[in-house]
Amino acid sequence: MIDIEGIMSILPHRYPFLLVDRIVEMEPGSRIVGIKNVTLNEPFFQGHFPGKPVMPGVLMIEAMAQVGAVLLLKDIEDRDEKLALFAGIDEARFRRPVVPGDQIRFELEVLRKKATTAKLHGKATVDGEMACEATVMCALVDRKK
């Protein structure tokens, strides 16, 4: 539904911190599904962990939040003047390691949305198996150019 170029037109993140490759489903204002293809070329694998590469949990949560930010920013007219920042992370649980060659499917649902804040529940799965889940809160703030 949205390829990497479309994602880059919505999010300000860039390599090596853009952690979403594709959006495959979206119900504006309520639900989104994004994909991250995990490769050995990811810079964090050099140190996490040598000989046993595992994607850091905090980066899975970050990728989840980036997918949510696509949903929140997609239909905002002045999105180039906004940033979606973390306001909180609740109930984060990690169920299985994510390793090179995995494809993570992030599914997020909006729990609550106001003009400048939102709360979303997200799940990250690999081959249908839960890798992590969390509730993320974000704040939409003005970006100073």
Q: Which residues carry out catalysis?
A: 48
Q: What is 40-74 written as a DSSP string?
A: TT-GGGGTS-TTS----HHHHHHHHHHHHHHHHHT
Q: Distance (Å, rounded) from C-alpha 105 to C-alpha 63?
A: 10
H-helix or E-strand containing 112?
A: strand 103-113
136: Cα separation from own chain's centroid: 10
Structure tokens at 43: 């810079």
Angle formed at CA 139 by CA 105 and CA 95, multiple of 5 degrees: 30
